[in-house]
Amino acid sequence: MDSHTVNKKNPLKEHPSGDKRFKILDATMKRHQYQQDALIEVLHKAQELFGYLENDLLHYIAQSLKLPPSRVYGVATFYHLFSLAPKGAHTCVVCTGTACYVKGAANLLATVEKCAKIHASETTPDSELSLLTARCLGACGIAPAVVFDGTVCGHQTPELVTEQIEGWLKHGSS
Q: Residue 140's CB: how many other CB atoms inside 10 A?
A: 17
Is 65 in a helix, a strand, or coil?
coil
Q: What is the pLDDT of residues 82-118, one digit of tens each?
A: 889 888 999 999 999 999 999 999 999 999 999 999 9
| pLDDT at position 17 | 80
Report d(CA 155, CA 141) in Å as an integer. 9
For residue 2, pLDDT over 70 is answered with no
Would you place residue 15 in the very low, low, confident or very high pLDDT band (cuts 50, 70, 90)?
Answer: confident
CB–CB of 71/38 below 8 Å?
A: no
Using the CB atoms, write b or e for 18-28: b if 16+ within 10 Å. Answer: eeebbbebbeb
Stretch 49-72: mean pLDDT = 96
Averaged pLDDT score across all residues of the chain: 90
